[in-house]
């Protein structure tokens, strides 16, 4: 090949690559990855079971150890998601967590966004907790707790954390359950690169009725399974980070349509059983991001706990005459 021809070919190739890069969305919130493409075992290596196709991973907690995995990269904003099936039967003291954090890198000023699932005694439902810390705001826990409108131990359900520049949205399946705006949360809003973590561990000291019920290993091993793993994140300190954050801000999970706001309100009305916003014993002055709705406030005690929850729509008992 002549010098000119090879130069032209190089130019054409470069142009083709540039077009391909430009055409590819900077962030694809629908893509899922195999475990090995995005994650690394973190602890309890023998208790991490990967499926043959590497798209499902089970984390076990037994007498010897819990287990966990971490994303191989750190992200500055992203959409992190997994379909999760929780351990069934007696799970008091067991915690399954799916969260972003940078506590290993910034121990004093860490950021964190959490889904935590708190096990229970037999016949009582798992509770789900969400939380946020920013820049080491560990003295200002922003816990909210919910019951789920389905049994999370029989099928996989999708749990997602959208962390964009302006807001964080937690999703259960396609329903937003919590929306935290940067402008309202201010300096407590996560602002530094984070990794994604999934863990199962023994939280006997606090998870169930404040530690009254401990993990009973007769019912173990406790198995939490994760699939549909999504890591649509903006790689920290990569040249495309800014464009990626823009794309993320415009992506579906970041857009709170009226219908989504309505679905979120309904989920919270029906399922939220604790909110830091109503916990005036702990926080006499509410946080700037709290929308204190008077009709909602009347359903909570000053400890932040729900007075009495309407009967769960998905019950294990068939309805009796008195209910009809
Ligand atoms: C984060 O916290 C540190 C130490 O408390 C403080 O010096 C710094 O200004 C904070 N950063 C932001 C962005 O608020």
The three-state secondary structure class of 266 is: helix
Query: Mind telling me the catalytic residues?
Result: 112, 116
Q: What are phi and psi of 157, to 5 degrees?
A: -130, 150
| Structural domain includes residue 277 | no
| Structural domain includes residue 47 | yes
Q: Residue 89 in contact with residue 121, Cβ under 8 Å?
A: no
> From ligand 1's centre to the CA of 117, what distance in Å?
30
Which 3-state string (H, E, C) describes 234-295?
Answer: EECCCCCHHHHHHHHHHCHHHCCCHHHHHHHHHHHHHHEEEEHHHCCCCCCCCCCCCCCCHH
| Count of the separate structural domains present in the chain | 1
Query: Which helix (DSSP H) or strand (DSSP E) does residue 23 occupy?
Result: helix 3-23
Instruction: Pick from 112, 165, 187 the residue to mutate for probing ligand 1's pocket: most ligand atoms within 8 Å of its CB.
Output: 187
Ligand 1 shell residues, CB under 6 Å: 109, 135-136, 187
Strand-pairing partners, residue 171, are 160, 176
> From ligand 1's centre to the CA of 304, what distance in Å?
29
> From ligand 1's centre to the CA of 136, what distance in Å?
8
Mean pLDDT by runs of 10 across the 324 residues of the chain is: 57 51 68 97 98 98 98 96 97 97 96 97 94 96 97 98 97 97 96 97 88 93 98 87 90 97 95 96 94 83 86 50 36
| Structural domain includes residue 300 | no
| Structural domain includes residue 285 | no
User: In angstroms, what CA-CA distances link 183 with 75, 239, 285?
Assistant: 21, 26, 18
User: What predicted TM-score, i.e. pTM, was given to this entire model?
Assistant: 0.88
> From ligand 1's centre to the CA of 135, what distance in Å?
6
The beta strands (E) that lie in the chain are given as 39-43, 48-50, 57-61, 67-71, 75-85, 94-101, 112-118, 127-133, 144-147, 157-163, 167-172, 175-181, 195-202, 222-235, 272-275
Spatial distance between the Cα atoms of 92 and 76, rounded to a whole number of angstroms: 35
Q: Which domain covers residue 238, as residue numbers?
A: 25-256
Closest-CA residue, ligand 1 atom 5, reads 109
Instruction: Pick from 106, 109, 186 the residue to mutate for probing ligand 1's pocket: most ligand atoms within 8 Å of its CB.
Output: 109
| Structural domain includes residue 299 | no
Specify the pLDDT at position 177: 98
Q: How far apart are the first and last CA of the chain?
A: 84
In CATH, what number is assigned to the domain containing residue 234?
Answer: 2.60.120.200
Instruction: State the DSSP code for 315.
Output: -
Instruction: Pick from 102, 111, 135, 191 the residue to mutate for probing ligand 1's pocket: most ligand atoms within 8 Å of its CB.
Output: 135
Spatial distance between the Cα atoms of 309 and 148, rounded to a whole number of angstroms: 12
Single out the residue of 233, 232, 229, 230 nearest to residue 58, CA to CA: 229
Atom number in ligand 1 closest to CA 187? 14
> From ligand 1's centre to the CA of 196, what distance in Å?
23
Atom number in ligand 1 closest to CA 135? 1
Specify the pLDDT at position 319: 44
The three-state secondary structure class of 209 is: helix
The three-state secondary structure class of 38 is: helix
For tokens 């939380």, what's the residue? 131
For tokens 């969305």, what's the residue? 25
Specify the pLDDT at position 197: 98
Atom number in ligand 1 closest to CA 191? 13
Specify the pLDDT at position 25: 56
Strand-pairing partners, residue 221, are none
Q: Residue 3 in contact with residue 11, Cβ under 8 Å?
A: no
| Structural domain includes residue 190 | yes
Spatial distance between the Cα atoms of 255 and 18, rounded to a whole number of angstroms: 29
Atom number in ligand 1 closest to CA 136? 2
Spatial distance between the Cα atoms of 258 and 90, rounded to a whole number of angstroms: 39
Q: Residue 122 in contact with residue 218, Cβ under 8 Å?
A: no
Tokens for 81, please give them. Answer: 């998601």
């Amino acid at each position: 090949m002549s010098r000119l021809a090879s130069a032209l070919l190089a130019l054409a190739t470069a142009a083709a690559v540039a077009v391909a890069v430009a055409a590819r969305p900077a962030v694809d919130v629908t893509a899922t990855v195999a475990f090995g493409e995005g994650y690394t075992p973190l602890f309890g290596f023998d208790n991490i079971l990967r499926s043959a196709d590497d798209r499902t991973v089970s984390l076990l907690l037994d007498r010897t150890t819990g287990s966990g995995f971490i994303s191989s990269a750190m992200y500055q904003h992203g959409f992190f998601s997994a379909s999760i099936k929780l351990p069934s039967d007696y799970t008091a003291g067991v915690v399954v967590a799916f969260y972003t954090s940078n506590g290993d890198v910034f121990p004093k000023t860490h950021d964190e966004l959490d889904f935590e699932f708190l096990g229970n005694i037999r016949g009582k439902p798992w509770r789900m907790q969400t939380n946020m810390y920013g820049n080491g705001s560990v003295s200002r826990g922003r816990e909210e707790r919910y019951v789920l409108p389905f049994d999370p131990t029989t099928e996989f359900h999708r749990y997602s954390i959208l962390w964009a520049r302006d807001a964080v949205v937690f999703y259960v399946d396609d329903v937003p359950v919590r929306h935290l705006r940067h402008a309202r949360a201010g300096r407590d809003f996560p602002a530094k690169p984070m990794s994604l973590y999934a863990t199962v561990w023994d939280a006997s000291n606090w998870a169930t009725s404040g530690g009254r019920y401990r993990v009973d290993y007769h019912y173990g091993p406790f198995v939490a399974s994760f699939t549909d793993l999504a890591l649509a994140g903006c790689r920290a300190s990569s040249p495309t980070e800014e464009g990626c954050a823009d794309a993320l801000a415009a992506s579906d999970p970041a857009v709170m349509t009226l219908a989504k706001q309505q679905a979120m309100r309904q989920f919270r009305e029906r399922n939220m059983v604790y909110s830091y916003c109503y916990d005036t014993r702990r926080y006499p002055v509410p946080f700037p991001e709290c929308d204190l709705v008077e009709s909602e406030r009347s359903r909570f005690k000053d400890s932040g706990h729900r007075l009495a929850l309407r009967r769960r729509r998905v019950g294990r008992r068939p309805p009796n005459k008195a209910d009809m």
